[in-house]
Amino acid sequence: MGELLPRHLETELEQALISTKIVNIVGPRQVGKTTLVRDLLKTGHFITLDDENVLAALEADPKGQLDALIAEMPTGPLIIDEAQRSKNLALAIKRTVDENRKMGQFVLTGSSNIFTSSQVADSLAGRVQTMTMLPLSMAEARRMGSARVLDWASAEDGPNPAALSKPEAMSRADYIEMILAGGFPEIQNLEAPRRRRRYRDYIDSVVER
């Protein structure tokens, strides 16, 4: 496996686990949600509903399966990848967090939000923090820190132009290459012909679905 690129959402995720019971990460496929919660977070117990056996067991007895998984965990949240594949998960999670005041109980990922029904959303208000994960920003792709322009502009003593770091020297060709590479982690570093093919296949699969 190649080197993992830093994701600025990682810090926000770690902070959310301290202050809310459920962290819900939604975003397009292939933007790196699974990598974030499985490889970068480095805590909790990971399951994926892409595993048909896990999904079938959870659909048959959602509350019982959640209770069993939580009982086996030494520490950290229960991480459920591809959560949108389950029809019964949202209500089972609601029952679980209603019984336990602990923060950081669940981290969910999915291409759609499982808490959109009015019944679940209303009853979990204040207990779910939903984050949207997008493809790599240019700062992430180039292994740079997150932008601090807003912090600079809102400083108590007023913005100081000297406090801003100097932009990296880049040619017109460099900018064009960054735009063409895009922000999907697995596609970004491919050679141009293969990259074009992958993007074309991605768009076709979304449209056809």
What DSSP character marks residue 36?
I
Q: Is residue 47 part of a domain?
A: yes
Range(s) of the domain holding residue 190 = 138-204
Q: How far is CA 4 from CA 32, 158, 192, in A?
A: 10, 37, 21
Residues 46 and 123 grouped into a single domain: yes
Q: What is the pLDDT of residues 12-28, one digit of tens each?
A: 999 999 999 999 999 99
Residues 77 and 30 grouped into a single domain: yes
Length of the chain in terms of residues written: 209
User: Is the pLDDT at 119 greater than 70, yes or no?
Assistant: no
CA dist., res. 42 & res. 87, Å (int): 28
User: Is the pLDDT at 205 greater than 90, yes or no?
Assistant: no
Q: What is the pLDDT of residues 97-107, one digit of tens each?
A: 999 889 999 99
Q: What is the pLDDT of residues 137-149, one digit of tens each?
A: 888 888 877 766 6
User: Is the pLDDT at 128 greater than 60, yes or no?
Assistant: yes
Least confident of 37-46, 68-77, 88-97, 113-122: 113-122
Indicate the residue among 99, 132, 165 that finishes a domain. Answer: 132
Q: What is the pLDDT of residues 55-72, one digit of tens each?
A: 999 999 999 999 999 998
Residues 83 and 113 grouped into a single domain: yes
CA dist., res. 100 & res. 132, Å (int): 26
Interaxial angle between packed helices 89-98 and 62-72, expressed in degrees from 0 to 180 and rounded to the nearest 10: 50
Residues 45 and 110 grouped into a single domain: yes
pLDDT at 1: 45
Which residue carries 């959402």 as its tokens?
A: 9
What value does the CA radius of gyration of the chain take, rounded to a whole number of Å?
A: 20
Residues 100 and 159 grouped into a single domain: no
SS3 81: strand
Residues 72 and 160 grouped into a single domain: no
Number of independent structural domains in the chain: 2
Q: Is residue 150 part of a domain?
A: yes
- Dihedrals phi, psi of 60, to nearest 5 degrees: -70, -40
Residues 121 and 149 grouped into a single domain: no
Least confident of 33-37, 87-91, 110-114, 162-166: 162-166
Residues 68 and 87 grouped into a single domain: yes
Contact (CB, 8 A) for 93 and 78: no
pLDDT at 133: 94
pLDDT at 53: 96
